[in-house]
Chains A and B, each alone.
Chain A
Amino acid sequence: MYYIQTMLNFSVFFFIYFFLQIFLYRFFKINLNKFFIVLFIISVSAVVGFYLYSIELLINLINLNLIIICFYFVMPAIINHAPATEIIHLITNKKINNKKKLKKSFLKGRVGKAVEKRLEINISSNLIKFNKGGFTVTKNAKKILIFLNLIKKIYKLESDAY
């Protein structure tokens, strides 16, 4: 019984957070999933968890923070259109199977300007800056790239390009 109550309590928070995100994004185009907002919530939780010596509270706080981090990773996939998902969507829902037609629809569709859109996102996230007619990466972007390159090397992963 207590187990079900725990799950229900947790589901309530999950739905409040989920519907708050929907409300803010649908009506005001505000995305709560920003790095500094997530970092702020984690910091506040760490302080609260440290000063209130309660195991139940600590467990709930960790779960809440994990949900917030998961949302941080899921949100870009919701806002942006992923190319692979678009291809599957065209094949299954739009019934476009021929390669030439598929490519034409892909390029004309919402993913056709994917590179330009991602460039804009990188600029607005301060990951790249425009300097003397060209783009350069910022210090933060360098750190992210070094980390991701390390992951790529350790796990022997191959990226699509570059």
Chain B
Amino acid sequence: MPTKFHICIIFLPFFLVLLSSVMFLLFQIFVNKNYLSNLIISFLLIFFLLLVVIYKLSPSLTGQQIFYLIFAYLCSSFIFMCIIQSPISGLQFTILRMIYLNPGISRKKIIKKYNSNHIFEERIKRLEAANIIYRNKSSFFLKNKKILLYLNFFLILKKIFNIKN
């Protein structure tokens, strides 16, 4: 039979993600940094808070509950980050938004207004702004090597799932 303590444990990770989202909002309003840094900082600060809570409550927590608290927080934060990322760079949603704003638009017009040329220029700008790549004369080089972890992770998954083109 779940007690009040158990119910608190169940809702704690979701409450913390809510807190992290509020912190992200405050960062977006008051701190002049790019959104990704704000998102990561708010996630890490609340994760640290979660670790403190676990440490304080550790005598009354079981191993399963500690695992749940950490795992549920990580998963919910990941879901929140995906939701935040979708309206920014989701190609599928950009096309949806374009059709929503121009009902009855033809395939030709969509491709004329938004094609791979535009996408290339936009992504180069964003990668430069996020300090992931830098420009030297007319060439681009990788600045942030940490992104390779992400790239290789997805390349491995693509190979495992046999995704080609």
Contacts and interface: CB of A to CB of B under 8 A. Distances in A.
Which of A10, A62, A89 has most B Cβ within 10 Å? Answer: A62
A89 B155 contact: yes
A87 interface: yes
Contact of A73 (B6, B82, B158): B82
Given A55-B6, A157-B87, A88 B63 contact: no
Nearest to B86: A148
Secondary structure class of chain A's binding surface, majority of residues: helix
Contacts of A132: 104
B149 to A, nearest CB: 11
Contact of A160 (B71, B83, B126): B126
Given A136-B103, A161-B94, A99 B138 contact: yes
Contact of A70 (B78, B86, B105, B115): B78
Interface string B19-45: 000001100110000010000000000
Contacts of B84: 151, 155, 157
Nearest to B82: A73
Interface in A1-55: 2-7, 10, 21-22, 25-26, 53, 55
Interface string B41-73: 000000000000000000000111111100110
Interface residues of A, number: 82
B142 A127 contact: no
Contact of B104 (A70, A85, A135, A158): A135
A53 B96 contact: no
B16 interface: no
Given A55-B2, A160-B88, A115 B116 contact: yes
A162 B104 contact: no
Nearest to A87: B123
Interface in A79-93: 79-80, 82-85, 87-89, 91-92
Interface of A: 2-7, 10, 21-22, 25-26, 53, 55-56, 58-59, 62-63, 66-67, 69-70, 73, 76-80, 82-85, 87-89, 91-92, 97-100, 102-103, 106-107, 110-116, 118-119, 121-122, 127-128, 131-137, 141-142, 144-145, 148-149, 151-152, 154-162
Given A107-B117, A128-B99, 8 more contacts: A10-B71, A88-B148, A97-B140, A136-B99, A145-B93, A145-B96, A151-B84, A155-B24
28 contacts: A3-B67, A26-B160, A59-B68, A66-B71, A70-B78, A80-B91, A87-B123, A88-B132, A88-B133, A88-B142, A92-B142, A98-B139, A110-B165, A115-B91, A127-B92, A131-B104, A134-B103, A134-B104, A135-B103, A135-B105, A137-B103, A144-B93, A145-B97, A151-B86, A155-B25, A157-B88, A159-B87, A160-B88
